[in-house]
Amino acid sequence: MHITLDGFAGKENGQMDWMTVAWSKDLHKFTIKNLDDVDCILVAFGKKMDDSFFSYWGATAGKPNDPFFEVAKKITATSKIIISKYPVAAEFSNTRIIKGDIIEEVKQLKKQSGKDLMVYGGVTFASSLIENDLVDEFYFLLNPVAIGKGLSLFDGIKGNLDLELIISEPDECGIVVNKYIKKKK
Protein backbone atom coordinates (compact mmCIF):
# COMPACT_ATOMS: atom_id res chain seq x y z
CA MET A 1 0.00 0.00 0.00
CA HIS A 2 1.34 3.41 -0.92
CA ILE A 3 1.21 5.79 2.01
CA THR A 4 2.28 9.34 2.69
CA LEU A 5 4.79 10.50 5.31
CA ASP A 6 1.85 11.53 7.46
CA GLY A 7 0.30 8.06 7.23
CA PHE A 8 -2.48 8.43 4.67
CA ALA A 9 -3.32 5.98 1.89
CA GLY A 10 -5.28 8.53 -0.11
CA LYS A 11 -6.68 12.02 -0.02
CA GLU A 12 -10.09 12.47 1.61
CA ASN A 13 -11.73 12.10 -1.81
CA GLY A 14 -9.64 9.00 -2.56
CA GLN A 15 -7.27 10.73 -5.01
CA MET A 16 -3.80 9.28 -5.30
CA ASP A 17 -2.18 12.09 -7.30
CA TRP A 18 0.53 12.41 -4.63
CA MET A 19 2.12 9.02 -5.41
CA THR A 20 5.70 8.88 -6.68
CA VAL A 21 5.59 7.24 -10.11
CA ALA A 22 9.21 7.65 -11.23
CA TRP A 23 10.34 4.32 -9.79
CA SER A 24 13.86 2.96 -10.08
CA LYS A 25 14.58 -0.41 -11.66
CA ASP A 26 15.15 -1.80 -8.15
CA LEU A 27 11.64 -0.85 -7.03
CA HIS A 28 10.18 -2.47 -10.15
CA LYS A 29 12.20 -5.63 -9.40
CA PHE A 30 11.03 -5.60 -5.79
CA THR A 31 7.39 -5.34 -6.88
CA ILE A 32 7.75 -8.22 -9.33
CA LYS A 33 9.54 -10.36 -6.71
CA ASN A 34 6.79 -9.58 -4.21
CA LEU A 35 4.19 -10.72 -6.75
CA ASP A 36 6.13 -13.98 -7.22
CA ASP A 37 5.18 -14.81 -3.63
CA VAL A 38 1.41 -14.57 -4.17
CA ASP A 39 -1.18 -16.89 -5.67
CA CYS A 40 -3.84 -14.24 -5.92
CA ILE A 41 -4.43 -10.49 -5.82
CA LEU A 42 -7.59 -9.38 -4.04
CA VAL A 43 -8.99 -6.27 -5.71
CA ALA A 44 -11.71 -4.40 -3.86
CA PHE A 45 -14.30 -2.77 -6.10
CA GLY A 46 -16.49 -0.12 -4.58
CA LYS A 47 -17.50 3.46 -4.89
CA LYS A 48 -13.92 4.65 -5.42
CA MET A 49 -12.18 1.61 -6.94
CA ASP A 50 -13.41 0.61 -10.37
CA ASP A 51 -12.30 -1.25 -13.48
CA SER A 52 -9.67 1.40 -14.24
CA PHE A 53 -7.29 -0.83 -12.27
CA PHE A 54 -7.70 -3.54 -14.92
CA SER A 55 -7.79 -1.22 -17.91
CA TYR A 56 -4.60 0.54 -16.78
CA TRP A 57 -2.57 -2.62 -16.08
CA GLY A 58 -4.01 -4.44 -19.09
CA ALA A 59 -3.07 -1.58 -21.43
CA THR A 60 0.35 -1.15 -19.83
CA ALA A 61 1.10 -4.88 -20.25
CA GLY A 62 0.82 -4.28 -24.00
CA LYS A 63 3.33 -1.40 -24.07
CA PRO A 64 6.90 -2.77 -23.97
CA ASN A 65 8.36 0.76 -23.76
CA ASP A 66 6.31 1.72 -20.70
CA PRO A 67 8.42 1.78 -17.50
CA PHE A 68 5.74 -0.30 -15.75
CA PHE A 69 5.57 -2.92 -18.54
CA GLU A 70 7.19 -5.78 -16.56
CA VAL A 71 5.12 -5.02 -13.45
CA ALA A 72 1.96 -4.86 -15.57
CA LYS A 73 2.73 -8.22 -17.20
CA LYS A 74 3.12 -9.78 -13.75
CA ILE A 75 -0.10 -8.23 -12.42
CA THR A 76 -2.14 -9.32 -15.43
CA ALA A 77 -0.68 -12.85 -15.28
CA THR A 78 -1.46 -13.28 -11.56
CA SER A 79 -4.88 -14.63 -10.60
CA LYS A 80 -7.18 -11.97 -9.26
CA ILE A 81 -10.35 -11.99 -7.20
CA ILE A 82 -12.66 -9.00 -7.29
CA ILE A 83 -14.27 -8.40 -3.93
CA SER A 84 -17.39 -6.30 -4.34
CA LYS A 85 -20.69 -5.49 -2.70
CA TYR A 86 -21.64 -3.69 -5.92
CA PRO A 87 -22.47 -5.10 -9.37
CA VAL A 88 -19.40 -5.64 -11.55
CA ALA A 89 -20.37 -5.60 -15.20
CA ALA A 90 -16.99 -6.03 -16.86
CA GLU A 91 -15.19 -9.34 -17.24
CA PHE A 92 -11.45 -9.68 -16.93
CA SER A 93 -9.11 -12.51 -17.80
CA ASN A 94 -7.66 -14.58 -14.98
CA THR A 95 -10.20 -13.06 -12.59
CA ARG A 96 -13.23 -14.17 -10.63
CA ILE A 97 -15.75 -12.18 -8.62
CA ILE A 98 -16.78 -12.77 -5.02
CA LYS A 99 -19.86 -11.14 -3.55
CA GLY A 100 -21.54 -11.55 -0.20
CA ASP A 101 -19.89 -11.54 3.21
CA ILE A 102 -16.46 -10.33 2.19
CA ILE A 103 -14.79 -10.97 5.55
CA GLU A 104 -16.00 -14.59 5.59
CA GLU A 105 -14.84 -15.04 1.99
CA VAL A 106 -11.37 -13.79 2.86
CA LYS A 107 -11.23 -16.06 5.93
CA GLN A 108 -11.99 -19.03 3.66
CA LEU A 109 -9.35 -17.93 1.13
CA LYS A 110 -6.73 -17.69 3.90
CA LYS A 111 -7.47 -21.30 4.93
CA GLN A 112 -6.54 -22.60 1.47
CA SER A 113 -3.05 -23.92 0.88
CA GLY A 114 -0.66 -22.11 -1.41
CA LYS A 115 1.18 -18.84 -1.52
CA ASP A 116 0.10 -15.50 -0.08
CA LEU A 117 -2.87 -13.31 -0.94
CA MET A 118 -2.17 -9.67 -1.75
CA VAL A 119 -4.61 -6.75 -1.56
CA TYR A 120 -4.58 -3.97 -4.17
CA GLY A 121 -6.68 -0.88 -3.76
CA GLY A 122 -9.52 -0.09 -1.47
CA VAL A 123 -8.60 1.70 1.78
CA THR A 124 -11.97 0.73 3.26
CA PHE A 125 -11.48 -2.92 2.29
CA ALA A 126 -7.91 -3.03 3.60
CA SER A 127 -9.05 -1.36 6.82
CA SER A 128 -11.79 -3.95 7.31
CA LEU A 129 -9.22 -6.74 6.88
CA ILE A 130 -7.00 -5.09 9.51
CA GLU A 131 -9.97 -4.63 11.85
CA ASN A 132 -10.80 -8.34 11.53
CA ASP A 133 -7.21 -9.46 12.12
CA LEU A 134 -6.81 -10.88 8.61
CA VAL A 135 -3.54 -9.17 7.64
CA ASP A 136 -0.32 -10.99 8.46
CA GLU A 137 2.19 -8.79 6.63
CA PHE A 138 2.11 -5.11 5.82
CA TYR A 139 4.08 -3.64 2.92
CA PHE A 140 4.07 0.14 2.92
CA LEU A 141 5.61 2.12 0.09
CA LEU A 142 6.29 5.32 2.00
CA ASN A 143 6.16 8.20 -0.47
CA PRO A 144 8.13 11.39 0.24
CA VAL A 145 5.08 13.61 0.55
CA ALA A 146 2.71 14.84 3.25
CA ILE A 147 -0.91 15.72 2.43
CA GLY A 148 -2.19 16.98 5.80
CA LYS A 149 -5.35 14.88 5.96
CA GLY A 150 -6.78 11.93 4.14
CA LEU A 151 -7.79 8.28 4.34
CA SER A 152 -6.16 6.16 7.03
CA LEU A 153 -5.88 2.38 7.01
CA PHE A 154 -6.07 2.27 10.77
CA ASP A 155 -9.18 4.28 11.66
CA GLY A 156 -11.14 1.18 12.71
CA ILE A 157 -8.62 -0.56 14.94
CA LYS A 158 -9.37 -0.99 18.59
CA GLY A 159 -6.39 -0.76 20.90
CA ASN A 160 -2.85 -1.04 19.62
CA LEU A 161 -1.71 -2.88 16.52
CA ASP A 162 1.84 -3.81 17.45
CA LEU A 163 4.06 -4.44 14.45
CA GLU A 164 7.66 -5.51 13.96
CA LEU A 165 9.74 -3.93 11.20
CA ILE A 166 11.29 -6.64 9.00
CA ILE A 167 12.51 -4.64 5.99
CA SER A 168 13.18 -0.94 5.45
CA GLU A 169 14.76 -0.20 2.09
CA PRO A 170 15.04 3.30 0.67
CA ASP A 171 14.80 3.61 -3.09
CA GLU A 172 16.58 6.25 -5.13
CA CYS A 173 13.19 7.66 -6.22
CA GLY A 174 12.50 8.64 -2.59
CA ILE A 175 10.09 5.84 -1.70
CA VAL A 176 11.02 3.73 1.33
CA VAL A 177 9.70 0.16 1.29
CA ASN A 178 8.78 -0.99 4.78
CA LYS A 179 7.61 -4.50 5.60
CA TYR A 180 6.03 -5.19 8.97
CA ILE A 181 4.60 -8.31 10.57
CA LYS A 182 2.36 -8.53 13.60
CA LYS A 183 4.37 -8.80 16.81
CA LYS A 184 3.99 -12.13 18.51
CA LYS A 185 2.23 -11.83 21.84
Task: Report CA torsion sign: 112, 116, 120, 122.
Answer: positive
CA pair distance 145, 64, nearest whole angstrom? 30
Average pLDDT over residues 161-175: 95
- The pLDDT value given to residue 123: 86
CA pair distance 109, 106, nearest whole angstrom? 5
- Taking only the tens place, the pLDDT of each residue in 104-122 is 988 999 999 999 999 987 7
C-alpha pair distances (Å), 68 with each of 22, 35, 39: 10, 14, 21
Check pLDDT > 70 for residue 90. Answer: no
- The pLDDT value given to residue 38: 93
Q: Which of 1-5, 42-46, 69-73, 107-111 has the lowest mean pLDDT?
A: 42-46
- The pLDDT value given to residue 85: 73
- Taking only the tens place, the pLDDT of each residue in 20-62 is 989 999 999 999 999 999 999 988 776 555 667 778 888 999 9
Parallel, antiparallel or unpaired: strands 116-120 and 38-45: parallel
- Taking only the tens place, the pLDDT of each residue in 125-159 is 889 999 999 999 999 999 999 999 999 999 888 88
- CATH number listed for the domain at residues 2-182: 3.40.430.10
C-alpha pair distances (Å), 112 with each of 17, 37, 106: 36, 15, 10
Residue spans of the domains in the chain: they are 2-182
- The pLDDT value given to residue 156: 82
Backbone angles phi, psi at 72, to 5 degrees: -60, -40
Please state, rounded to an integer, the average pLDDT across all residues of the chain. 88
CA pair distance 32, 59, nearest whole angstrom? 18
- The pLDDT value given to residue 78: 92
- The pLDDT value given to residue 84: 77
Q: Which of 11-25, 55-69, 83-97 has the lowest mean pLDDT?
A: 83-97
- The pLDDT value given to residue 95: 85
pTM as predicted: 0.87
